[in-house]
Structure 1
Amino acid sequence: MSSGTKPNYVIFDTDMGSDDAWALQMILKAEKVLKSVKVLAITTVNGNTTNENVIKNTYRILDGFDRTDIPIYKGADEALIPGDIKRGSHGANGFADVEFWDLDKYPSDINTLIQRKRAIEIIRDLVMEHPNEITLICVGPLTNIALAIKSFSEIKTNIKEAMVLGGNHQGIGSIKPCADFNFYMDPEAAHIVLNSLTCPITTLPLECGLVQNLNIPLDWRFNVLANVNANDKNLTLLNEIERIRFRGRLSYVPYDALLTAVFLFPERCIRTKNQCNATVELHGSHTRGQTVIDRRNSNYNVTIIEQVYEEEFKNSLVWTVSE
């Protein structure tokens, strides 16, 4: 990035599991080394774990990167229409139940770690302060973004772009037969975001990380990536978390980091993508939360990342924790 060029301003919206941790670390590395982005705020949302745990996990990753100066704003504690949702594969605390919150180092009251404003307020304030300059990087359920849109409609036309982890394009699901975790956790929020924003929206769906599209051996994760930098405090923690989380699996896919790699290195990482008109099914007993693509409609509102280059993504992960 040339000297004097304004960085991409980012609001990072997260439900902080280990995938989110990789994504955040990658963004922070780009801010430090490439000077290509600037994280203005982190907003937390219920998803992989409770909001309280999301705040702790987020602060721990910031502390491991010596960036606790980045403000954290608490967001939604539940979906727009709460349901009986089973958590994903991140354990009760979002970090595979690894105990890392040392009360000799970290406060017992998490309210001391967050700002007084709520997530939707800072989203509104920053978007209007920097019209058409802010990228929303959304790696959890979209509750905060939907609430901000509904509360402050003026932001709809003032966001630069939205990068969204979630959805599908072939009807393959994870938490449900036809829905991925993030969209199913709050389908109404996903529907609002896809159908309200006027800015470019890029989604990275479930199928992008399936073994036929991305096959990173677990051996590579723990014999190569795990040993890149012994001094990286976050890598040490992530090694412990992911040895538990990925136990018994054959391949390794940190989905949230896939999204940030696509955002930071689109020319290197994106193999195939497709523009389409997409919305979210809200009512089907078997399809609630599924992304519905109208292939007859040329009024495109979403760019879907279908495949990434595996080696380039692996290189991005190595770079993320290299000295």
Structure 2
Amino acid sequence: MDIKSLTCCFSCLFSILIIAIMCNPTASSNSETKKKYIIFDTDMGSDDAWALQMILKAEKEQQNVKVLAITAVSGNTSPENVAKNSYRILDGVGRTDIPIYKGAIEAFIPSDLQSAQFYGVNGFSDVEFWKPSYPHDVNEIFQQKSAVEIIRELVMTNPHEISIISIGPLTNVALAIKAYPEIKENIKEIYIMGGNYQGKGNALRGSEYNFFKDPEAAYILLNSLNCPITILPIESPESVNITLEWRFNVLGKVDNENVQLLNKVEQIAFRNSERFEPFDALLVASFLFPECIRQQNRYNATIELQGIHTRGQMVFDRSSSDYNVNVVEMVHEDKFKEILLWAAKP
């Protein structure tokens, strides 16, 4: 083969490679980096379900992450319903082998103030989804160890290798820190959906739901962990405008068992909404694909514990350079949509 033919051949191969990358929204991801081992801490509403669907798709196709445990915490619903909802999503992708652990049933200091249950009593808009073949007793779904025990075990047997993704109230992780303080130095990183950075609230006037549900837990994490903490606050979804038309007529048309279930759940949950805001999926997209992040900043943050209207609010010392959190403030809308569609496809 002469030089001209060889050059032409290489040019064709390069063009094919570029086309393949452009057609795959995950091609620029961190798939060649060291595998990330995940504890998925959740209160499993439908946005949690999208987050779990996304991370399991990454586990299957990119093989750069591995979910070691799902830990259930009270938030959107009870730990028992969290287990059922998680099991249903796992079954939809053939992954019921992933163990589920029961966590906290209430906050450090339970509050008399209650937020509306956006996703109904069961976390899935009270849609009936349980199949006759599923376990009849929810205790058959839970492992013998508690969420706190498995967090300690996995972190200490895999020091500096465990990433915790926490998309509900932070009670499980805070309890683990208090019960086993040795884990504080051995967690690799934690990604949190919760809090606010502009004072916006959806529980109290100035408090986001996950942090409001257990402010003491959020305070413990922000004031005791030394590992990197990334927070996606309630204001971040405002950087994307995903219409309900796109949600149901584009994303909702994907032929996938889990998508069909979530269509039913979210047609109820978002019936009075103007747009689709899958908070927890935004966090996982930021975790899996950092290029999805459009703007982020580091802050020195703590949690307000006493305010009548602001209990659970994230408060910054903007004059301090002693940063303890990285806040994802904006994400790329088009990239996030691509990731959602990728995650939804079987």
TM-score range, shorter chain: over 0.9
Distance in 1 of aligned mates of 2:50 and 2:232? 16
State whether structure 2 residue 171 is matched by structure 1 residue 140.
Answer: no
Amino acid at match of 2:189: E
Equivalent positions of 1:229-308 (< 5 A) are 230=255, 232-267=256-291, 269-308=292-331
Contact 1:161 1:200 in 2 (8 A): yes
Whether the aligned pair in 1 keeps the contact of 2:84 and 2:138 (CA below 8 Å) is yes
The partner residue of 1:111 within 134, 139, 144 is 139
Q: Does 1:95 align with 2:124?
A: yes
Alignment deviations for residues 253-301 of structure 1 (CA, whole Å, 9 cap, x no partner): 100000000000002x100000000010001111101000000111000
Question: Which of 244, 247, 251 matches 1:218?
Answer: 244
Q: Secondary structure at the match of 2:150?
A: helix
Query: Does the aligned pair in 2 maintain the 1:54–1:94 contact within 8 Å?
Result: yes
**Could you list the runs of 5+ residues in structure 2 that have no partner in the other structure?**
1-29
Amino acid at match of 1:138: S
Q: Which runs of 5+ in 1 are unaligned?
A: none
Task: Describe how 1:43-62 pairs up with structure 2 within 5 A.
Answer: 43-62=71-90
Contact 1:46 1:76 in 2 (8 A): yes
More displaced 10-residue stretch of structure 1: 157-166 or 106-115: 106-115
SS in 2 for 1:305: strand
- The one-letter code matched in structure 2 to 1:227 is K
Distance, in Å, in 1 between the alignment partners of 2:80 and 2:111 is 19
Alpha-carbon contact 2:31-2:62 (below 8 Å) kept: no
Kindly indicate whether residue 334 of structure 2 is the aligned counterpart of residue 320 of structure 1: no
Once the two structures are TM-superposed, the CA of residue 248 in structure 1 deviates from its matched residue by 2.7
Q: Structure 2 vs 1, CA of residues 88 and 214 (structure 1 numbering), >3 Å: closer, same or farther?
A: farther
CA distance in 1, matches of 2:31, 2:265: 37
| Corresponding letter in the other structure for 1:260 | V
Structure-2 residue corresponding to 1:175: 203
> Is the radius of gyration larger for structure 1 or structure 2?
2
* Residue identity (%): 60
With normalisation by structure 1, the TM-score equals 0.96
* 1:185-200 map, 5 Å: 185-200=213-228
The yes-or-no answer on 1:311 pairing with 2:340 is no
Q: Secondary structure at the match of 1:101?
A: coil
Residue type at the aligned position of 1:218: L
Which of 249, 253, 260 is the equivalent residue of 1:227? 253
- Output the aligned Cα RMSD: 1.1
User: Counterparts of 2:330 and 2:117 in 1: how far apart (Å)?
Assistant: 23
Q: Secondary structure at the match of 1:257?
A: helix
1:71 and 1:21 map into 2 onto residues whose CA distance is 16
CA deviations 1:185-241 (Å, max 9, x no partner) are: 00000000111110000000001012xx2211110001100112x1x1111101111
Q: Distance in 1 between matches of 2:211 and 2:34?
A: 32
* CA–CA distance in structure 1, aligned partners of residues 234 and 212 of structure 2: 12
> 2:25 is matched with which residue?
none
CA contact (8 A) 2:100 2:141 kept: yes
Displacement of 1:51 in angstroms is 1.2
How many angstroms does 1:2 deviate by?
6.5
Which whole-Å CA distance do the structure 2 matches of 1:30 and 1:264 have between them?
8
Corresponding residue SS for 1:96: coil
Query: Given residue 249 of structure 1, which amino acid in structure 2 is its aligned partner?
Result: S
User: Could you list the per-position Cα deviations for residues 6-36 of structure 1 after superposition, in whole angstroms to 9, with x for gaps in the alignment?
Assistant: 4100000000000000000100000000001
Change (3 A) 1:173 1:292: same
Q: For the Cα contact (< 8 Å) 1:41–1:71, is it kept in 2? A: yes
CA distance in 2 between partners of 1:2 and 1:153 (Å):
32
Q: Cα distance, 1:87 vs. partner?
A: 4.1
Cα distance in 2, alignment partners of residues 242 and 180 from structure 1: 21
